[in-house]
Amino acid sequence: MQLAVGKASTSAKLYNAFTSLTANILALGSPARAARYRYHRDLYRTYVAGELTGSNQNFRPRPKSADADSKRTMQTIIGRCRDQAQNNPSVRGGIRRIVNNAVRSGIRPQFQFRDKGDKLDTATNRAWEKLFSRWAGYADISGHDSFWAQQRLGLGHMWFDGGFFIHRVWDTSIPGVVPLRLELLERDHLDTSMDGVLKNGNIARQGKELDPRTGKVVAYHLFPEHPGDSGYTSMVQQSIRIPASEIVDVFERDRISQYHGIPWIVAVVMEAYDLEDYRAYERIGAKLAAAFGIFVKSNYADMGHPGIGIQAGETGENSNWPTTWDNMPEYIDPGRIQAVPYGADITIASHNRPGTQYEPYVKESRRTQSTGFGMSYEAYANDYTDASYSSARSASLEERLSYGGMQMFLNEKMNRKVAAWFIEAAWMAGLAPCSMPGFRTNPWPYLEAVSHQNPGWGWVEPLKDSQASGKKIDKVLSTYRREAAAQGYDWDELVDEAIDCEAKLTPLLQARAQNQQLSEQSNAEI
């Protein structure tokens, strides 16, 4: 426990000295009494963070609930985060790198339906996955994005918006495709004016309607159109109450009292903005400095008058010397020898922008930002000039843990819920590839029969990593399926492909062996 002892103020030092002196005196008569005295006096001690004196005495943030802490400034926070995600190249590139690593071409479901013997039904699961893959291309109600693209889009919104909504809608216009459609909504659709106790007794928290007994969200009050759209700014919209069963609310809770997500880049957005602002001013300063090449000055105030400034012995129309300032050239041609008026002084402008501290400051700022992104400095700044192989490898492995956490987040908050919707919609539409007895009364064993295959990463050192992978399998510390999943592959699909390749290659290899044998016999006869 870090107490205000080592860094105590003068008053705290006096307090501690008095306590020790009194305890020592009491200990002469009763050590137990001295111990009790010392214990109760120590209760008045405080943490260093609780000191109200010194240079940090004005640092007194108020302990509020998570939503109250951001209620008044949320629009400003989101606006700033969106601006940096759009216009700051480092922030934009960092988010894209994260999305590419965590989602890439999509996090795909692996269905886990079982037969009557409680064994995985491979044929049924493959049929479900095929049905899902076809549906994924039509998942977006607008027809613009596939489900895989929606995963990428949603993860990006987590960084600069802090969350998004998925609205379940239906479309039966495409035969053979599960009629479930997804409408992704930005958090701006939430009617934040719905706040407080409602007429039905429920409690609204900035557009989210809660059950007062459990705190569970039972409905969302959403605008049908984006309130910031230029085509609807003049319209007065009425929010619509949508049951929670039709909405997937994707956000991350950092505190127990939190019902609204905070953008993931909130801690670095001002650092990123200030750095780009500083770099912009340095560019302006460098441009201004470069605009002035040579200054010509004189101590003669009347140098600009006609006839003043003529060099002795150099009068006449053919003189090479400028007679006034008006005759001085504005530009200097390469290799030109230029005469100047008598008494003129030449000063060449020195360009020292940006200064020597520019690069260290930019590097340190980006290192701070990379920490907020959960990335290495080298990856965030795209700067590997000072990185060794071992440090880059260590940083890469650490980043993968961060990407894996984001994959787990998407699977828990988005993918599993969408997969459950998909299974329910397929059953309702009569497109389920298998019979589902008892689904109407107890659907959960079916809705939960899904895992997800995340995109993996290749080995950093293929030879050493493959040997390590093989040893883990030999020691029963892993399996072929898990090692394949770590690479982003479905082991069952790899086995099927290997069997298919073997079946196709075997006749070719046999024919090649027969031809080789015939050729050898022919050569022997000759």
Confidence category of residue 425, pLDDT binned at 50, 70, 90? very high
pLDDT digits (tens, 9 = 90+) for 480-490: 877 887 777 77
Q: Over 463-525, what HEC string results?
A: HHHHHHHHHHHHCCCCCHHHHHHHCCCCHHHHHHHHHHHHHHHHHHHHHHHHHHHHHHHHHHH
For the chain, the residue count is 526
pLDDT digits (tens, 9 = 90+) for 152-191: 999 999 999 999 999 999 999 999 999 999 999 999 999 9
With contact defined as beta carbons under 8 Å apart, do 378 and 94 qualify? no
CA 437 vs CA 191, 427, 440, 446: distances in Å? 41, 11, 8, 10
CA–CA distance, 404 with 393 (Å, rounded to integer): 17
CA–CA distance, 508 with 489 (Å, rounded to integer): 28
Long-range (24+ apart) CB contacts under 8 A made by 128-132 are 128/423, 128/433, 128/434, 131/178, 131/426, 131/431, 131/433, 132/108, 132/419, 132/422
3-state secondary structure of 111: strand
Percent of the chain scored above 90 by pLDDT? 48
**Does residue 137 have a pLDDT over 70?**
yes
Averaged pLDDT of the chain = 84
C-alpha triplet 314, 320, 323: angle, nearest 5° = 70
Among the ranges given (21-35, 82-96, 260-274, 343-357), the one the predictor scored with the smallest mean pLDDT: 343-357
Write out the H or E segment, with its range, that includes residue 80: helix 74-87
Identity of the amino acid at 310 = I
User: What is the CB neighbour count within 10 angstroms for residue 443?
Assistant: 15
What does the pLDDT average to over 260-283?
93
Displacement of CA 473 from its chain's centroid (Å) = 34
With contact defined as beta carbons under 8 Å apart, do 248 and 316 qualify? no
pLDDT digits (tens, 9 = 90+) for 316-349: 454 555 556 666 666 667 766 666 666 677 777 6
452 Cβ contact partners less than 8 Å away, ≥ 6 residues apart: 107, 108, 109, 110, 411, 415, 416
> What pLDDT is stored for residue 168 in this prediction?
97
For the chain, give me the number of helices (H) and strands (E)?
16, 12
What does the pLDDT average to over 423-432?
96
**Does residue 410 have a pLDDT over 90?**
yes
Greater model confidence, 87 or 386 = 87
> What pLDDT is stored for residue 143 in this prediction?
93
Q: Over 237-303, what HEC string results?
A: CCCEEEEHHHEEEEECCCCCCCCCCCCCCCCCHHHHHHHHHHHHHHHHHHHHHHHCCEEEEECCCCC
What does the pLDDT average to over 244-258?
94
Residue 87 burial by Cβ neighbours in a 10 Å radius (0-12, 13-18, 19+): exposed
